Structure 1
Amino acid sequence: MLQGFEHIGMTSGDLDRTIWFYCDLLGLRLHLRKPASSGEVAFLDAGGGMLEIFAPAEPVTRAQDVPPQTAGMRHMTFAFSDIDPVVQRLEEEGLEIIERPRLAHNQDVFKRVAFCRDPDGIIVELAERAASRP
């Protein structure tokens, strides 16, 4: 029996910056950080699942976008009660905003959305849930 979504695994070029972005700016909570074979690992709790972030000891290249015709994870989404102050804070911190807040295409699921990039170039969607969703 399924118990729920557990985590997404990702790679970071700078674990401190990644934790700063997801915890300090987006509000996730650091659950665990420890040395791992050939690097360091952290688990960040998003309230309904976690991000497992591996930071290898050697340099990593910036993330590349997955083209629409290619299978893969295109972005990850976090829900907020109001995305405007989040986008404003990200802009103040110099992070790349791909799309400013706008009405969502899937109004049955989300009311408004915005898109940005994390410090490693991964696309992150910020969303306000539709009124019909808890």
Structure 2
Amino acid sequence: MRMLHTMLRVGDLERSLAFYCEVLGMTLLRRKDYPDGQFTLAFVGYGDEKSQTVIELTYNWGVDQYDLGTGFGHIALGVEDIYAACDQIRQRGGRIVREPGPMKHGSTVIAFVEDPDGYRIELIQVAPQPPVNSEGRPAVATA
């Protein structure tokens, strides 16, 4: 079993696609209109759906705003350089709502970005990952 996607309802699909693709650097993987149901689904992510968890953006035609409530927290993305990532997001028009710094009661460096619909995206500083081979094991350098 593995996680496939997280769905977010959005009020303006084009605006959300611009944010996730242009600001956060994701790729639009697929998009489909469902005229009978009056909605459109768009899937975005950093890799193909066969091996990566992605985000499903659901646009219900004619609905331009949602009450996010208090139950949903955030989506988290790992970044190798959180300060550079925040600078890049800012330069691309993204909104940083918590500047990089240690999390409360801990040492992990985090920041928060807000998407156009108000969903929060946590950025977490992670150590660079070593290269892996086609089997997902650490790659061994050859001379």
Q: Fold conserved (TM > 0.5)?
A: yes
Gaps of 5+ in 1: 67-71
Counterpart secondary structure, 2:89? helix
Distance 1:63 1:20 in 2: 21
User: Which digits, 9 at most, give the CA deviation of each residue in 1:19-77, with x for residues without a partner?
Assistant: 111112212221101112212110112443011111111133255352xxxxx321111
- Aligned twin of 1:102: 101
Q: State the match for 2:115 in structure 1.
A: 118
Q: How many residues align?
A: 123
The residue type equivalent to 1:38 in the other structure is: Q
Among 61, 64, 68, the alignment partner of 1:60 is 64
What SS is found at the alignment partner of 1:34? Answer: strand
Residues 10 and 65 in structure 2, CA contact (< 8 A), matched pair in contact too: no
Matches for 1:1-134 after TM superposition, within 5 Å = 2=1, 4-36=2-34, 37-47=37-47, 48-64=52-68, 66=70, 72-105=71-104, 106-107=106-107, 111-129=108-126, 131=127
RMSD over aligned Cα atoms: 2.3
Structure 2: runs of 5 or more not aligned: 131-143
Please identify runs of 4+ aligned residues in structure 1 that moved more than 6 A.
none
Distance 2:88 2:46 in 1: 19
**Matched position secondary structure for 2:25:** coil
TM-score relative to the length of structure 1: 0.78
Larger radius of gyration: 2
TM-score, normalisation: structure 2: 0.73
Equivalent residue letter for 1:28? M
